[in-house]
Amino acid sequence: MPDKQCEHKFKHISSSREEGVRPSFGMSPARDWKRTDHFYCEKCLKMDKVTQTEDGWKKKPDWF
Ligand SMILES: [Zn+2]
């Protein structure tokens, strides 16, 4: 008999936003937009996270 699969029902826990700074090579400092969202499943408590990044030279993304 196969293991019963959890139909995950993820709840959002928290978001963290970072601006990563990359080496500048003599130009103005390059920064990345980075956002990590943390989730857990209400049923089996599995943790998950989603990370989104965008190049820092682009304007601030909607999700940041
Ligand atoms: Zn689950």
Distance 45 CA to ligand 1 centre (A): 6
Specify the pLDDT at position 39. 98
Distance 26 CA to ligand 1 centre (A): 48
Q: Evaluate whether 30 touches 56 at the Cβ level (below 8 Å).
A: yes
Whole-number Å distance, alpha carbon 58 to ligand 1 midpoint, is 36
> What is the reported pTM?
0.69
Distance, CA of 52 to CA of 4 (rounded, Å): 31
Confidence at residue 13, expressed as pLDDT on a 0 to 100 scale: 96
* pLDDT of res. 4: 78
Residuewise pLDDT in 10s, the chain (64 residues): 556 789 999 999 999 998 767 666 666 666 788 999 999 999 999 999 999 998 888 888 999 9
Residue pair 35/20 in contact (Cβ under 8 Å)? The answer is: no
Between the CA of 60 and the centroid of ligand 1 the distance, in Å, is: 33
Instruction: From residue 24, give the alpha-carbon distance in Å to each of 29, 52, 53, 56.
Output: 5, 22, 18, 12
